[in-house]
Amino acid sequence: MTSWAFADAFVAEDETLHWARERAREAGLRSVSPGTGAALRLLAATVDAKAVAEIGTGTGVSGIHLLHGMRPDGVLTTVDPEPEHQQFARQAFRASGFASNRARFIPGRALDVLPRLADAGYDLVFCDGDRLECLDYLAESLRLLRVGGLVVFEGVFANGRTVESGPQPTEVLRLRELLRTIRESQELVPSLLPVGDGLLCAVKR
């Protein structure tokens, strides 16, 4: 556990990220862990991301990490049903030094918004929304991603419930189905990273 804690804190977070985390706590929202944030930053840099779509803006914690990993001219399109959360994210992005044109905020349900986004127009899609809709997010992500692009799902361990036996809520059953679908897909190269609450990543062939 000591090594896990060391890894999670390996990339230090600045005051703006701490501020965004505090706003999330006050709103009763779960933020990605520092280790998950660092992984998102790395993944965005790995694909040299110019266009990223994010499902679940929250208060901007994951968005800041993604923007840090993206190209200097990259644009983050972030979708959330709660406009007031997006206002916190907007403030956090500005405080992190990102120009206003680096992020496009779209309020609304992900499954209403995603169909309006361009086919094969994205390098990375980060999914941190309603777990009951994760399979629909996957279908949309495959359409949105270019070949060689990445789809990433946060929270797939569901605090350990995904691997526990016994009856589980519907959202956990959906996550298990998501894991199986991605692992068995001929169209994807998958990996499950044990950071935060589980980060499921897959490259589109």
**CA pair distance 16, 139, nearest whole angstrom:** 34
> How many CA atoms, within 13 angstroms, populate the side-chain half-sphere of residue 185?
21
**CA pair distance 3, 36, nearest whole angstrom:** 15
Per-residue pLDDT, 45: 98
| pTM: predicted TM-score of the whole model, two decimal places | 0.97
Per-residue pLDDT, 192: 98
3-state secondary structure of 87: helix
Per-residue pLDDT, 169: 96
The mean predicted confidence, pLDDT, of the chain is: 97
Per-residue pLDDT, 41: 98
Q: Give the residue ranges of the chain where pLDDT is below 70.
A: none
What distances in angstroms separate CA 135 from CA 75, 173, 198, 205, one per listed residue? 25, 11, 17, 18
The phi-psi region of residue 172 (left if phi > 0; otherwise alpha if psi is between -120 and 50; otherwise beta) is: alpha
Tokens 């809709």: give the residue.
Answer: 133
* Rg of the chain in Å (alpha carbons): 16
Phi, psi of 53, rounded to the nearest 5 degrees: -110, 135
**CA pair distance 144, 12, nearest whole angstrom:** 32
Q: Please name the helix (run of DSSP H) or strand (run of DSSP E) that holds residue 18, with its range, or none.
A: helix 15-26
Per the DSSP assignment, residues forming a β-bridge with 107 are 80
Tokens 């929270």: give the residue.
Answer: 155
**CA pair distance 203, 86, nearest whole angstrom:** 28
**CA pair distance 177, 183, nearest whole angstrom:** 10
DSSP 118: P
